[in-house]
């Protein structure tokens, strides 16, 4: 009779009341929770470092504007070819007086200098440039008005090339002006203005700072007006008119800004590591709690078996 009761107790363990959780299942879920938190923290660390490296590789372009009362006089390099410079004057407030004796030599009130140098792209062709000092006073709308005359040409289309460089004074101070012009022609863009028209060029300056070096670039807006030539002249005789003026008193400055802040990344990583340490402490306490509950469970089971025996 006693043996039957022992066998009956071994086959049917004590029932679990409603609302209680089995100790083994509770211990397992408590152990898994810190592991999931640790994996999320490791992924967050990897994502933070990856984003920081991407921001270092791809800086953001910043554009700002600086207002100036006076510009450093730019250099205007003209390549007239067979055309002759008739006049060059500085005017103010966008006012150009009527022409007197167009096609005839007039006053040259500009600072000019002629220079010859070899073509920087071929190193064989000799180039002849007329360097003119550009306008400075943007508040008074200073402009430079030039007039050229071409008596004959063997080309179907006639135009004069020109380029702009940042400082006429740098050109004057250069010990080798030929090399200076070769560098300018390699660095700056060139444009044209045609005969029989008055071409009005409005300049603006853009300074770009990248990798510790600064480059200067000119942007320009041009307007072209037809010149009504009332002279009795041969068909090959042409006049060229060009005006150079600053568009506005604002220098555009462009520079790359790195948006990645190392201090933000360090603070975020410290927070992540702190969370990892807390997760490790939680896991340690969970293991201790699991062992304690297991021992208590085994002790109760042993006491029940002894009581039955």
Give the span between the Cα atoms of 192 and 160, in whole angstroms.
5
CA 115 to chain centre: 36
pLDDT of the residue at 168: 93
- 95: exposed, middle or buried (Cβ count in 10 Å: 0-12, 13-18, 19+): exposed
Asked if residue 223 lies in contact with residue 40, where contact means CB atoms within 8 angstroms, the answer is no
pLDDT of the residue at 142: 93
Q: How many CB atoms lie within 10 A of CB 209?
A: 13
Model pTM score: 0.66
Inform me whether the pLDDT recorded for 226 exceeds 80.
yes
Give the span between the Cα atoms of 132 and 77, in whole angstroms.
6
Helix (H, G, I), strand (E, B), or coil: what is residue 29? helix
Helix (H, G, I), strand (E, B), or coil: what is residue 274? helix
Inform me whether the pLDDT recorded for 92 exceeds 90.
yes
pLDDT of the residue at 122: 81
pLDDT in tens, 170-215: 999 999 999 999 999 888 889 999 988 999 999 999 988 877 778 8
């Amino acid at each position: 009779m006693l043996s039957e009761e022992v066998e009956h107790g071994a086959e049917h363990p004590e029932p679990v009341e409603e609302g209680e959780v089995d100790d083994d299942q509770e211990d397992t879920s408590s152990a898994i929770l810190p592991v999931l938190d640790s994996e999320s923290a490791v992924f967050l660390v990897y994502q933070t470092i990856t984003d920081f490296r991407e921001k270092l590789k791809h800086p953001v372009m910043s554009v700002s504007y600086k207002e100036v009362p006076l510009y450093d006089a730019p250099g205007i390099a003209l390549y007239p070819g067979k055309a002759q410079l008739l006049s060059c004057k500085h005017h103010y407030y966008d006012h150009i007086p009527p022409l007197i004796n167009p096609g005839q030599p007039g006053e040259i009130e500009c600072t000019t200098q002629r220079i010859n140098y070899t073509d920087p792209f071929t190193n064989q062709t000799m180039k002849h440039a007329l360097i003119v000092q550009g306008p400075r006073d943007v508040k008074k709308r200073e402009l430079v008005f030039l007039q050229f005359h071409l008596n004959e040409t063997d080309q179907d289309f006639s135009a004069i090339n020109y380029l702009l460089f940042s400082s006429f004074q740098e050109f004057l101070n250069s010990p080798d002006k030929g090399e200076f012009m070769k560098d300018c022609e390699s660095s700056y863009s060139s444009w044209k203005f045609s005969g029989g028209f008055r071409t009005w060029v409005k300049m603006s300056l853009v300074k770009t700072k990248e990798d510790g070096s600064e480059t200067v670039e000119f942007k320009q807006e041009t307007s072209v007006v037809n010149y009504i030539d009332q002279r009795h002249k041969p068909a090959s005789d042409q006049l060229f008119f060009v005006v150079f003026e600053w568009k506005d008193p604002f220098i555009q400055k462009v520079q790359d800004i790195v948006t990645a802040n190392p201090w933000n990344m360090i603070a975020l990583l410290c927070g992540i590591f702190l969370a990892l340490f807390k997760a490790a402490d939680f896991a340690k306490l969970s293991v201790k709690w699991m062992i304690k509950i297991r021992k208590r469970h085994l002790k109760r089971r042993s006491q029940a078996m002894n009581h039955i025996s």
